[in-house]
A and B are shown apart, each in its own frame.
Chain A
């Protein structure tokens, strides 16, 4: 049996056959690859149609999916307005400005995609006024590129962990799960680049384009020279010793250490230095390439850890204003 042959045959008598299949997106990809009916110019319209077709019946979406996507959406707004201000802040020029702009635009795309899925169930745009990127005066993200990138790293790493933690909630809807996964890996790409940029600024070099050495971890408090991936618990992240008394946040808790710490249920959501995957200790289980040793750091780096919604919200609540609280953001 050849699925595509069948589709091709049916198409001869029914031009709309692709629209009648749930797997249309996959079919579309093949058609796009052949340069047949869909060109780059018409792609956004086609994609929009697909979202509408695939997810049009919002009322049928289970609450767990709505809640998971709305948390993702509110995190995307948090990131979008942060990068928007980063673009206009004057902190960055040249390649680095391009990178921040790309990331901002990707976040806008994610917002649109999530709104397309949620439709009327989507939360309203909280606006920039709902977010406080100083975390109640504890951070100065717009004081310097390095500070901006440090804060950014905290956001994007939280985002990666949040999408990962939410994925299981979306398993009931394959299209939505795939869309979420396709956002998740982009957030990880952003994290990689932000970390590379941070290394550059930490050594006094702007516009490194993410090409500073990836595998050298500076360590130390704040870990100003992070790897391009998460290693152990990142020494608590950019601002480990800052604590917040935010009424909506974890009282007196460390500001960025929570980004890399265990979630509410440490068994399901371990800290990022975890080396136990399922029942396997991946440090002792691995046969390394000749001459190398598997360190606990390497074992932790090979896997990013998920974070549960409650822990994600607790981190994010440090970054909302009274307006954000009144809108019920991350509540």
Chain B
């Protein structure tokens, strides 16, 4: 992890020719996610020194890494919802396009805010504009769109929840970043709850997301979140130094 070739303060794309995504890693993630015994070796492969490979967009380290991480996720969400609004599902029910139109706006606002915050507050260079890969989503299908929206929103909630502790307080802006992350995550949770209700009525805080015993939502590490998000992003992202 110490052999970074991309400056963490200047995240950038280095080699566009590099294969974007290798099958072994995707498979390892799904085995991991599917609670399959014996997947340990593959998980470890998925967590290996990928940041030493060329052709990777590093999210950077420290608080800038956290901001870029959030910016990457909001880029993904904003692009998704913009596409939903542009090509609505043919079987959307009454009012659902209204919902998606409003959420598309929220996510565009998040995306552009984070970019501005990285430039104006963190005085740094944000990561590049990412290219979405939504080939696994059927935008004409309500079920496909709702399923993807649920995945993005729950992932976003877990990502922000897990990122809070990665924000360094030694940075004078640390408290500001945490507060802003808190302002965004609850909006994502509101979206997530509503989308869940649309898919499975009454599942706004279902046991697969909110622990039935503790009432706690999920939180995820940047590496785990990016492993999932990577499916929908053309560029390969490296989140291994986020918050470090």
Residues on A facing B (Cβ under 8 Å): 1-5, 8, 26, 30, 33-36, 43-44, 47, 95, 98-99, 102-103, 105-110, 112-113, 160, 163-164, 167-168, 171-172, 174-175, 177-179, 181-193, 196, 209-211, 213-216, 227-229, 277-280, 282-283, 285-290, 292, 294, 298-299, 301-306
Contacts and interface: CB of A to CB of B under 8 A. Distances in A.
Contacts of A1: 1-2
A213 B99 CA distance: 7
Contact of A4 (B2, B47, B98, B201): B47
Contacts of B193: 188-190, 192-193, 210, 228
B205 A106 contact: yes
A278 B221 CA distance: 25
Contact of B189 (A5, A186, A280): A186
Given A3-B47, A277-B183, 14 more contacts: A2-B47, A34-B37, A95-B202, A184-B185, A186-B205, A186-B215, A210-B202, A214-B102, A215-B98, A282-B113, A288-B108, A289-B81, A299-B109, A303-B184
A122 B36 CA distance: 40
A188 B37 CA distance: 35
A215 B101 contact: yes
A211 B49 CA distance: 45
A211 B174 CA distance: 38
Contact of B204 (A184, A193, A277): A193
Contacts of B40: 8, 34
Given A168-B178, A209-B197, A185 B213 contact: no
A190 B209 CA distance: 13
B106 A301 contact: yes
A10 B117 CA distance: 42
A71 B224 CA distance: 33
Given A43-B213, A182-B219, A171 B99 contact: no
